[in-house]
Structure 1
Amino acid sequence: MLINEKDFNIREMNYKIRSASDIDAEALSDLRMQIDGETENLDREPGEAFIDPQGFRSIIKADSESPRNLFLVAETNGRLIGFSRCAGNDLKRFRHKVEFGVGVLKEFWGYGVGRNLLQESITWADDSGIRKITLNVMESNEKAKQLYEKLGFEVEGVLKDDKLLSDGNFYNMVVMGRLTNRMEG
Protein backbone atom coordinates (compact mmCIF):
# COMPACT_ATOMS: atom_id res chain seq x y z
CA MET A 1 0.00 0.00 0.00
CA LEU A 2 1.08 3.57 -0.56
CA ILE A 3 0.48 6.65 1.61
CA ASN A 4 0.74 10.37 0.97
CA GLU A 5 4.02 12.06 1.88
CA LYS A 6 4.01 13.98 5.16
CA ASP A 7 6.46 16.64 6.39
CA PHE A 8 7.75 17.02 9.96
CA ASN A 9 9.80 19.69 11.72
CA ILE A 10 11.13 18.53 15.08
CA ARG A 11 13.69 20.59 17.00
CA GLU A 12 14.69 22.47 13.82
CA MET A 13 15.14 19.32 11.75
CA ASN A 14 12.94 18.89 8.71
CA TYR A 15 12.20 15.43 7.40
CA LYS A 16 9.48 13.69 5.49
CA ILE A 17 7.88 10.30 5.73
CA ARG A 18 6.72 8.68 2.54
CA SER A 19 6.18 5.32 0.92
CA ALA A 20 9.36 3.60 -0.18
CA SER A 21 9.93 3.62 -3.93
CA ASP A 22 12.15 1.80 -6.39
CA ILE A 23 14.75 4.60 -6.29
CA ASP A 24 15.30 3.96 -2.55
CA ALA A 25 16.51 0.37 -2.98
CA GLU A 26 20.27 1.01 -2.92
CA ALA A 27 20.08 3.50 -0.05
CA LEU A 28 17.86 1.11 1.93
CA SER A 29 20.38 -1.71 1.56
CA ASP A 30 23.13 0.53 2.97
CA LEU A 31 20.86 2.08 5.63
CA ARG A 32 19.74 -1.29 7.01
CA MET A 33 23.34 -2.47 7.26
CA GLN A 34 24.37 0.70 9.13
CA ILE A 35 21.40 0.60 11.53
CA ASP A 36 22.04 -3.07 12.31
CA GLY A 37 25.54 -2.09 13.46
CA GLU A 38 24.39 0.77 15.69
CA THR A 39 22.20 -1.05 18.18
CA GLU A 40 21.55 -4.52 19.53
CA ASN A 41 17.86 -3.69 19.96
CA LEU A 42 17.25 -5.05 16.46
CA ASP A 43 17.39 -8.69 15.44
CA ARG A 44 20.40 -8.74 13.14
CA GLU A 45 24.10 -8.14 13.34
CA PRO A 46 25.63 -6.20 10.41
CA GLY A 47 25.58 -8.34 7.29
CA GLU A 48 23.14 -10.94 8.60
CA ALA A 49 20.11 -11.52 6.39
CA PHE A 50 21.64 -8.97 3.98
CA ILE A 51 19.21 -7.58 1.40
CA ASP A 52 20.80 -6.21 -1.76
CA PRO A 53 19.21 -3.41 -3.81
CA GLN A 54 17.42 -5.88 -6.08
CA GLY A 55 15.97 -7.59 -3.03
CA PHE A 56 14.67 -4.26 -1.76
CA ARG A 57 13.18 -3.49 -5.19
CA SER A 58 11.21 -6.75 -4.95
CA ILE A 59 10.03 -6.01 -1.39
CA ILE A 60 9.05 -2.44 -2.30
CA LYS A 61 7.10 -3.60 -5.35
CA ALA A 62 5.26 -6.31 -3.42
CA ASP A 63 4.50 -4.00 -0.48
CA SER A 64 3.27 -1.22 -2.77
CA GLU A 65 0.80 -3.61 -4.38
CA SER A 66 -0.39 -5.36 -1.21
CA PRO A 67 -3.30 -3.93 0.80
CA ARG A 68 -1.80 -5.48 3.97
CA ASN A 69 1.80 -4.27 3.67
CA LEU A 70 3.26 -0.81 4.16
CA PHE A 71 6.91 0.17 3.64
CA LEU A 72 7.79 3.71 4.74
CA VAL A 73 11.02 5.71 4.67
CA ALA A 74 12.06 8.85 6.54
CA GLU A 75 14.17 11.28 4.52
CA THR A 76 15.97 14.53 5.26
CA ASN A 77 17.85 16.58 2.66
CA GLY A 78 17.68 13.72 0.16
CA ARG A 79 19.16 11.20 2.65
CA LEU A 80 17.27 8.23 4.06
CA ILE A 81 17.50 8.21 7.87
CA GLY A 82 14.99 5.55 8.83
CA PHE A 83 12.40 3.10 7.64
CA SER A 84 9.51 1.03 8.89
CA ARG A 85 7.53 -1.85 7.56
CA CYS A 86 4.18 -3.40 8.33
CA ALA A 87 4.00 -6.91 6.94
CA GLY A 88 0.72 -8.76 6.71
CA ASN A 89 -0.12 -12.35 6.00
CA ASP A 90 -2.28 -13.84 3.23
CA LEU A 91 -3.60 -16.66 5.42
CA LYS A 92 -7.30 -16.02 6.09
CA ARG A 93 -6.93 -16.55 9.84
CA PHE A 94 -4.25 -13.85 10.07
CA ARG A 95 -5.31 -11.31 7.42
CA HIS A 96 -6.59 -8.98 10.12
CA LYS A 97 -3.14 -8.18 11.50
CA VAL A 98 0.28 -6.87 10.53
CA GLU A 99 3.68 -6.96 12.22
CA PHE A 100 5.53 -3.64 12.62
CA GLY A 101 9.29 -3.16 12.51
CA VAL A 102 11.34 0.05 12.51
CA GLY A 103 14.93 1.25 12.21
CA VAL A 104 16.35 4.77 12.58
CA LEU A 105 19.97 5.91 12.29
CA LYS A 106 21.35 6.60 15.76
CA GLU A 107 22.35 10.18 14.92
CA PHE A 108 18.64 10.92 14.32
CA TRP A 109 17.29 9.41 17.55
CA GLY A 110 15.35 11.99 19.56
CA TYR A 111 13.70 13.69 16.57
CA GLY A 112 10.50 11.65 16.66
CA VAL A 113 11.39 9.73 13.49
CA GLY A 114 10.51 6.30 14.89
CA ARG A 115 7.41 7.64 16.61
CA ASN A 116 6.18 9.32 13.42
CA LEU A 117 6.89 6.23 11.31
CA LEU A 118 4.80 4.23 13.77
CA GLN A 119 2.06 6.87 13.94
CA GLU A 120 1.77 6.94 10.14
CA SER A 121 1.56 3.13 10.19
CA ILE A 122 -1.19 3.23 12.83
CA THR A 123 -3.17 5.75 10.78
CA TRP A 124 -2.79 3.56 7.69
CA ALA A 125 -3.91 0.48 9.64
CA ASP A 126 -6.93 2.28 11.10
CA ASP A 127 -7.92 3.51 7.63
CA SER A 128 -7.28 0.18 5.88
CA GLY A 129 -9.33 -2.16 8.01
CA ILE A 130 -6.29 -3.75 9.66
CA ARG A 131 -7.56 -4.93 13.05
CA LYS A 132 -4.27 -5.43 14.90
CA ILE A 133 -0.62 -4.33 14.81
CA THR A 134 1.97 -6.44 16.63
CA LEU A 135 5.64 -5.93 17.41
CA ASN A 136 8.43 -7.37 19.53
CA VAL A 137 10.72 -5.21 21.68
CA MET A 138 13.58 -6.01 24.02
CA GLU A 139 12.35 -6.02 27.62
CA SER A 140 15.25 -3.72 28.59
CA ASN A 141 14.34 -1.09 25.93
CA GLU A 142 12.26 1.06 28.29
CA LYS A 143 12.04 4.11 26.00
CA ALA A 144 10.60 2.06 23.14
CA LYS A 145 8.14 0.23 25.39
CA GLN A 146 6.91 3.54 26.85
CA LEU A 147 6.42 4.96 23.35
CA TYR A 148 4.48 1.90 22.22
CA GLU A 149 2.26 2.06 25.30
CA LYS A 150 1.57 5.78 24.70
CA LEU A 151 0.41 4.86 21.19
CA GLY A 152 -2.00 2.21 22.44
CA PHE A 153 0.08 -0.98 22.46
CA GLU A 154 -0.33 -3.45 25.32
CA VAL A 155 1.98 -6.19 26.54
CA GLU A 156 0.67 -9.53 25.35
CA GLY A 157 3.47 -11.72 26.59
CA VAL A 158 7.16 -12.20 27.27
CA LEU A 159 9.49 -14.49 25.31
CA LYS A 160 12.03 -15.56 27.92
CA ASP A 161 15.75 -15.73 27.02
CA ASP A 162 14.74 -15.05 23.43
CA LYS A 163 17.71 -13.00 22.19
CA LEU A 164 21.44 -13.62 22.62
CA LEU A 165 23.51 -10.43 22.57
CA SER A 166 27.23 -9.81 22.16
CA ASP A 167 27.76 -9.81 25.93
CA GLY A 168 26.92 -13.53 25.92
CA ASN A 169 23.70 -13.04 27.88
CA PHE A 170 20.16 -13.91 26.88
CA TYR A 171 17.44 -11.25 26.99
CA ASN A 172 13.67 -11.37 27.12
CA MET A 173 11.55 -10.00 24.31
CA VAL A 174 8.16 -8.43 24.96
CA VAL A 175 5.33 -9.12 22.52
CA MET A 176 3.05 -6.09 22.19
CA GLY A 177 -0.14 -5.54 20.25
CA ARG A 178 -2.50 -2.73 19.42
CA LEU A 179 -6.09 -3.12 18.27
CA THR A 180 -7.03 -0.44 15.76
CA ASN A 181 -9.59 2.24 16.48
CA ARG A 182 -11.61 1.31 13.44
CA MET A 183 -15.13 0.28 14.34
CA GLU A 184 -16.53 -2.75 12.56
CA GLY A 185 -19.72 -2.00 10.63
Structure 2
Amino acid sequence: MYIRPVKRTDTNMLFSFFEQLDSETSFLLFEPGERNPSLERQEKRLEQILASEQERMWVVTDEQQIVGYLGLRRGNANRTRHAAVIALGLLQTYCGQGWGTRLLQQAEAWAREHRIRRLSLTVMVHNERALRLYLKQGFAIEGLQKDSLLVDGNYVNEVGMAKILD
Protein backbone atom coordinates (compact mmCIF):
# COMPACT_ATOMS: atom_id res chain seq x y z
CA MET A 1 0.00 0.00 0.00
CA TYR A 2 1.13 3.53 -0.71
CA ILE A 3 -0.24 7.05 -1.14
CA ARG A 4 -0.51 8.84 -4.47
CA PRO A 5 -2.64 11.51 -6.14
CA VAL A 6 -5.91 10.24 -7.55
CA LYS A 7 -5.93 9.73 -11.34
CA ARG A 8 -8.50 9.37 -14.11
CA THR A 9 -8.21 5.60 -14.24
CA ASP A 10 -9.30 5.33 -10.58
CA THR A 11 -13.01 5.80 -11.28
CA ASN A 12 -14.06 2.18 -10.71
CA MET A 13 -11.86 1.67 -7.65
CA LEU A 14 -12.98 5.00 -6.19
CA PHE A 15 -16.64 4.16 -6.72
CA SER A 16 -16.22 0.79 -4.96
CA PHE A 17 -14.20 2.39 -2.16
CA PHE A 18 -16.81 5.07 -1.42
CA GLU A 19 -19.64 2.50 -1.54
CA GLN A 20 -17.85 0.39 1.08
CA LEU A 21 -16.71 3.35 3.18
CA ASP A 22 -20.17 4.89 3.40
CA SER A 23 -21.76 1.55 4.29
CA GLU A 24 -19.31 0.62 7.05
CA THR A 25 -19.20 3.87 9.03
CA SER A 26 -21.62 6.57 10.06
CA PHE A 27 -18.80 8.96 11.00
CA LEU A 28 -18.71 10.55 7.55
CA LEU A 29 -21.07 12.98 5.85
CA PHE A 30 -22.73 10.68 3.31
CA GLU A 31 -25.14 7.82 3.83
CA PRO A 32 -24.78 4.67 1.69
CA GLY A 33 -25.53 5.41 -1.98
CA GLU A 34 -25.74 9.16 -1.46
CA ARG A 35 -22.22 10.33 -2.39
CA ASN A 36 -22.11 9.33 -6.05
CA PRO A 37 -25.00 6.97 -6.78
CA SER A 38 -23.65 5.97 -10.19
CA LEU A 39 -20.34 5.21 -11.79
CA GLU A 40 -21.04 7.96 -14.34
CA ARG A 41 -21.48 10.57 -11.59
CA GLN A 42 -18.28 9.34 -9.89
CA GLU A 43 -16.43 9.76 -13.17
CA LYS A 44 -17.75 13.31 -13.61
CA ARG A 45 -16.84 14.21 -10.03
CA LEU A 46 -13.33 12.83 -10.49
CA GLU A 47 -12.93 14.88 -13.69
CA GLN A 48 -13.98 18.01 -11.75
CA ILE A 49 -11.36 17.34 -9.08
CA LEU A 50 -8.61 16.70 -11.61
CA ALA A 51 -9.46 19.84 -13.61
CA SER A 52 -9.69 22.08 -10.56
CA GLU A 53 -7.00 24.41 -9.28
CA GLN A 54 -8.74 24.42 -5.88
CA GLU A 55 -9.15 20.69 -5.24
CA ARG A 56 -6.80 17.78 -4.66
CA MET A 57 -7.29 14.16 -3.67
CA TRP A 58 -4.83 11.51 -2.53
CA VAL A 59 -5.59 7.81 -2.17
CA VAL A 60 -4.13 4.88 -0.27
CA THR A 61 -3.92 2.02 -2.75
CA ASP A 62 -2.14 -1.10 -3.92
CA GLU A 63 -3.44 -0.43 -7.48
CA GLN A 64 -6.01 -3.22 -7.02
CA GLN A 65 -8.15 -1.31 -4.54
CA ILE A 66 -8.38 2.03 -2.79
CA VAL A 67 -8.59 1.79 1.00
CA GLY A 68 -8.35 5.44 2.03
CA TYR A 69 -8.48 9.00 0.77
CA LEU A 70 -7.94 12.61 1.71
CA GLY A 71 -9.69 15.36 -0.21
CA LEU A 72 -8.67 19.01 0.01
CA ARG A 73 -10.61 22.04 -1.23
CA ARG A 74 -8.98 25.44 -1.23
CA GLY A 75 -10.96 28.69 -1.04
CA ASN A 76 -11.90 30.31 -4.37
CA ALA A 77 -11.96 33.96 -3.34
CA ASN A 78 -8.79 35.99 -2.81
CA ARG A 79 -9.68 36.28 0.86
CA THR A 80 -9.95 32.51 1.33
CA ARG A 81 -7.25 31.15 -1.01
CA HIS A 82 -4.95 30.79 2.00
CA ALA A 83 -7.33 28.26 3.58
CA ALA A 84 -8.40 24.73 2.70
CA VAL A 85 -10.96 22.29 4.06
CA ILE A 86 -10.03 18.63 4.24
CA ALA A 87 -11.95 15.36 4.48
CA LEU A 88 -10.38 12.01 5.25
CA GLY A 89 -11.72 8.47 5.21
CA LEU A 90 -10.25 5.00 5.64
CA LEU A 91 -11.82 1.58 5.44
CA GLN A 92 -12.18 0.23 8.97
CA THR A 93 -9.64 -2.59 8.53
CA TYR A 94 -6.96 -0.01 7.64
CA CYS A 95 -7.57 2.32 10.59
CA GLY A 96 -4.86 2.45 13.23
CA GLN A 97 -2.06 1.59 10.76
CA GLY A 98 -0.73 5.13 10.26
CA TRP A 99 -2.44 5.84 6.94
CA GLY A 100 -4.42 8.77 8.36
CA THR A 101 -1.22 10.35 9.65
CA ARG A 102 0.52 9.88 6.31
CA LEU A 103 -2.43 11.29 4.36
CA LEU A 104 -2.48 14.38 6.60
CA GLN A 105 1.28 14.81 6.18
CA GLN A 106 0.89 14.57 2.39
CA ALA A 107 -1.84 17.21 2.37
CA GLU A 108 0.13 19.48 4.68
CA ALA A 109 3.25 19.27 2.49
CA TRP A 110 1.18 20.14 -0.59
CA ALA A 111 -0.52 22.99 1.28
CA ARG A 112 2.80 24.49 2.33
CA GLU A 113 4.09 24.31 -1.27
CA HIS A 114 0.97 26.16 -2.42
CA ARG A 115 1.01 28.82 0.29
CA ILE A 116 -2.01 27.54 2.15
CA ARG A 117 -1.81 28.72 5.74
CA ARG A 118 -4.94 27.17 7.27
CA LEU A 119 -6.27 23.61 7.11
CA SER A 120 -9.67 22.97 8.66
CA LEU A 121 -12.10 20.10 9.12
CA THR A 122 -15.05 18.94 11.15
CA VAL A 123 -15.37 15.70 13.09
CA MET A 124 -18.25 14.15 15.03
CA VAL A 125 -17.68 14.56 18.77
CA HIS A 126 -17.99 10.83 19.43
CA ASN A 127 -15.39 9.88 16.78
CA GLU A 128 -12.64 9.54 19.37
CA ARG A 129 -10.12 7.86 17.06
CA ALA A 130 -10.31 10.70 14.53
CA LEU A 131 -10.17 13.36 17.25
CA ARG A 132 -6.99 11.79 18.65
CA LEU A 133 -5.44 11.66 15.18
CA TYR A 134 -6.17 15.31 14.41
CA LEU A 135 -4.98 16.52 17.81
CA LYS A 136 -1.80 14.46 17.45
CA GLN A 137 -1.19 16.07 14.06
CA GLY A 138 -1.44 19.57 15.50
CA PHE A 139 -5.06 20.48 14.80
CA ALA A 140 -6.76 22.54 17.49
CA ILE A 141 -10.42 22.51 18.45
CA GLU A 142 -12.02 25.81 17.50
CA GLY A 143 -15.60 25.20 18.49
CA LEU A 144 -18.64 23.01 18.86
CA GLN A 145 -21.30 22.83 16.16
CA LYS A 146 -24.45 21.65 17.90
CA ASP A 147 -26.90 19.40 16.05
CA SER A 148 -24.95 19.90 12.83
CA LEU A 149 -25.77 16.45 11.43
CA LEU A 150 -28.74 14.11 11.52
CA VAL A 151 -27.43 10.53 11.71
CA ASP A 152 -29.79 7.57 12.04
CA GLY A 153 -32.53 9.85 13.35
CA ASN A 154 -30.34 11.48 15.99
CA TYR A 155 -28.79 14.93 15.96
CA VAL A 156 -25.01 14.82 16.27
CA ASN A 157 -22.61 17.53 17.35
CA GLU A 158 -19.42 18.18 15.44
CA VAL A 159 -16.16 19.81 16.48
CA GLY A 160 -14.56 22.34 14.18
CA MET A 161 -10.78 21.98 14.07
CA ALA A 162 -7.96 23.79 12.30
CA LYS A 163 -4.22 23.80 11.93
CA ILE A 164 -2.30 26.97 11.11
CA LEU A 165 0.79 26.28 9.03
CA ASP A 166 3.81 28.49 9.65
TM-score, length basis structure 1: 0.82
CA apart distance, 1:89:
2.5
CA apart distance, 1:59:
3.6
**Counterpart position of 1:7:** none
Aligned with 1:178 (options 152, 163, 166): 163
Output aligned runs, 1:153-172, within 5 Å.
Answer: 153-166=139-152, 168-172=153-157
CA apart distance, 1:130:
0.7
Output aligned runs, 1:1-185, within 5 Å.
Answer: 15-50=1-36, 52-76=38-62, 78-166=64-152, 168-181=153-166
CA apart distance, 1:68:
3.3
* Aligned mates of 2:68, 2:35 — CA distance in 1: 18
* Aligned mates of 2:28, 2:47 — CA distance in 1: 24
Return the letter of the residue paired with 1:133. Answer: L
**Cα distance 1:113–1:159, how it changes in 2: closer, same or farther (>3 A)?**
same
* Aligned mates of 1:36, 1:171 — CA distance in 2: 17
Segments of 5+ residues of structure 2 without an aligned counterpart are none
Moved over 6 A (4+): none
* Aligned mates of 2:14, 2:162 — CA distance in 1: 27
**Cα distance 1:95–1:60, how it changes in 2: closer, same or farther (>3 A)?**
same
TM-score, length basis structure 2: 0.91
Return the letter of the residue paired with 1:176. Answer: M
* Aligned mates of 1:51, 1:118 — CA distance in 2: 27
Segments of 5+ residues of structure 1 without an aligned counterpart are 1-14
* Aligned mates of 1:56, 1:128 — CA distance in 2: 27
